[in-house]
Amino acid sequence: MKKVLILGCGGFVGSHLTERLLAAGDVEIEGWDISSEKISQHLGDPRLRFHESYIDAETTWTELEPIIQDVDAVYSLAAVCTPAQYVSSPVKTIQSNFIDAYALIDLCAKHRKWLIHTSTCEVYGRTLSSYVKADDYDDLDLYEQREDETPLVMGPTSNNRWSYATAKQLFERYMLAHHQENGLPYTIVRPYNWFGPKMDFIPGRDGEGVPRVLACFMTALLDHQPMQLVDGGDAWRTITYIDDAIDALQAMLEQPKGSQNQIFNVGNRKDGEVTMKELAHLMREIAAEITGRPEYKDHPIEEVSSGKFYGEGYEDCDRRVPDISKAQSRLGWEPKTSLRETLRITMEHYFGKYGSSAA
């Protein structure tokens, strides 16, 4: 029987992880989040103890210490992770991703408890290719992201886009510092655009603000509004199905020898890469297939500047190509789900949940 603490068990990733670990059987979970909506079907399970609370440094020391002493591993998944907020609310972004969170590292280090932290591929920032203007990406060394080699390349501090990436970077550095000085056992995960049911929210239906690209495009399809391509939609992303990502998080827990004291990229290198323009076109096609409404194939797409869409201080990551050889060799992990299948499953969930009215 394994005992784990999951901080952020009610979020997108946390809800999928909680469900998976409960389904796998032999586990006891202490789950913390500000909302339990995404895991409501599991609240009656005696193996899950849910605590509805925001975690800051004070609650970490007062409420989490006895729990941390009692568990085998801590998953830390809670984060503010939508780029619109990095630009509009950089204080909240830095606060939630570092200031309110770093006490967890102190506490895990004190009790030598294994901390499995979900960081972000955004710590790499932009590619070196984009800075040397090698736009054709002809040198893999200038854009492939390797956990223990690639430099982290961010824009100036005046661009608040990087508030999140730098907070996450400092969190990683603080974990590594505690490992070196105090023997903290750690695993750092860098997710590459994990997509799936229950991601983010649909503005006006179950949340307010600007979510990430999947939910933005879905909202446009559901509301019969144009899909908006920021700065022409030329940025690339590597999209990874949430169940494949959860395979990796589960494998880490099951294989401590392979996963401890390592950083892992978790992304669908094989066939998940797409530009935002291609993503919009693909989502239109799949919307037509799912709903049986061929008019979706011609759903309007319009271009918008990043200044207008996000406000001042936005800067994009041009491309994210993960080297995943470490996850393959140390965990035996491989993404299995194609981009098309990922989108089909995810979009079916959104159309099922929110309906699709005729245009």
With binding defined as CB under 6 A, does residue 252 bind ligand UGA?
no
121 contributes a contact to ligand UGA by CB under 6 A: yes
Question: For strand 240-241 and strand 114-118, is the pairing parallel, antiparallel, or unpaired?
Answer: unpaired
Number of residues that bind ligand UGA (CB under 6 A): 21
Q: Which two tokens stand for residue 126?
A: 């932009």
Nearest to 79 by CA among 91, 93, 68, 60: 93
Query: Can you tell me which of 10, 31, 233, 258 binds ligand UGA, judged by CB under 6 A?
Result: 233
Distance from C-alpha of 282 to C-alpha of 241, rounded to nearest angstrom? 16
318 neighbors 128 (Cβ within 8 angstroms): no
* Part in contact with ligand UGA (CB under 6 A); list of ranges 89-97, 127-135, 230-238, 249-257: 230-238
CA distance 192 to 314: 19
Verify binding: residue 237, ligand UGA, rule CB under 6 A.
Answer: yes
The interface with ligand UGA within residues 194-213 (CB under 6 A) comprises: 194, 212-213
Minimum Å gap between C-beta 45 and ligand UGA is 28
Q: Which residues contact 135 (CB under 8 A, 6 or more apart)?
A: 129
Site pattern 80..119 for ligand UGA (x: CB under 6 A): -x-x------------------------------------
Residues 272-311 that bind ligand UGA (CB under 6 A): 276
Cα 78 to Cα 96: distance, rounded to the nearest angstrom: 8
Cα–Cα distance between 186 and 176 in angstroms, integer?
A: 8
Active site residue 164: yes
The SS3 of residue 112 is coil
Site for ligand UGA in 178-197 (CB under 6 A): 191, 193-194
Q: Which residues are catalytic?
A: 164
What residues line the site for ligand UGA (CB under 6 A)?
Answer: 81, 83, 120-122, 164, 191, 193-194, 212-213, 216, 228-230, 233, 235, 237, 276, 316-317
